[in-house]
A = this chain, B = another copy of it.
Amino acid sequence: MRYELYYWPSIQGRGEFIRLALEEAGADYVDVARRAGGVPALLKVLNDPKTKTPAFAPPILKAGKVTLAQTANILQFLGARLGLAPASEAGRLFVHQLQLTVSDFVDEIHDSHHPIASSLYYEDQKKESIRRAPHLTRERLPKFFNYFESVLKRNGKYLAGSKISYADLSVFQVIDGLRYAFPKAMKKLEPKYPLIVSLHDRVAARPNIAAYLASKRRIAFNQMGVFRRYPELDRG
């Protein structure tokens, strides 16, 4: 099965969680908007007037006859097919629950530089961002980190037990992004959360992920994605 991923070609964004799952599994996939099709191919699928399952926004995945959207929904679909989710129903529900918690976390991280409107530039909501960001770094990061740390403490090597799941890849990505966006805050916080830091490092070292991160397929973090480095927002 060749999977087609439709996502913005210049950012990691929410599509990166899906790229990581496809890469870890060595799946056959095309990142359509980064190939010949470009953004027009993405917009064509996004605005297809004939589909019965329209998407509100990218990422969108095509898998044979199925077209689906919403990051966590796509990951749940892929997780079952790519061996990145437990076999039991209870296990799958828990991994999806973890992923939805990552989604909430990512939304809060995004809003630290866009507290007023996604339609405005950062510069036009900088003042409010400077007020919001310390609540993110001093209250919300510890709260989410505590949660994922406690899950690892209970369950062992990976969040859902002995086997890696898409939720582990997603927590890796969040930590990686936060290191880029908030290096000062992360330097202070990381020593308190050894289990999630170890999870990050173990995911980064997995052969397929390591090869992906070193390749040109991995888009560098930049000032257009979810994770952005604005020193005025990172006061530790």
Q: Given A116-B131, A117-B132, A132-B116, A69 and B52 touching (CB < 8 A)?
A: no
B52 and A154: CB pair below 8 A? Answer: yes
Count copies of this chain in the complex.
Answer: 2
A101 to B71, CA, bound (A): 11
For residue A223, CB closer than 8 A to chain B, the reply is no
Interface readout for A118-131 with B: 1 if CB under 8 Å, 0 if not?
Answer: 01100000001001
Q: A121 CB to closest chain B CB, in angstroms? A: 13
Q: Is the CB of A150 within 8 A of B54?
A: yes
B101 with A128: CB separation less than 8 A = no
We find that the number of chain A residues with CB closer than 8 angstroms to chain B is: 43
Interface residues of chain A: helix, strand, loop or mixed (majority): helix
Q: How far is the CB of A166 from chain B (nearest CB, A)?
A: 14
Task: Write out, one digit per residue, whether chain A residues 49-82 have a CB within 8 A of any chain B CB (1) or not (0).
Answer: 0011111100000000110111011001100000
Question: A120 to chain B: closest CB distance in Å?
Answer: 8
The chain A residues found within 8 Å of chain B, CB to CB, are 51-56, 65-66, 68-70, 72-73, 76-77, 89-90, 93-94, 96-97, 100-101, 103-104, 107, 111, 115-117, 119-120, 128, 131-132, 135, 139, 144, 147, 150-151, 154-155
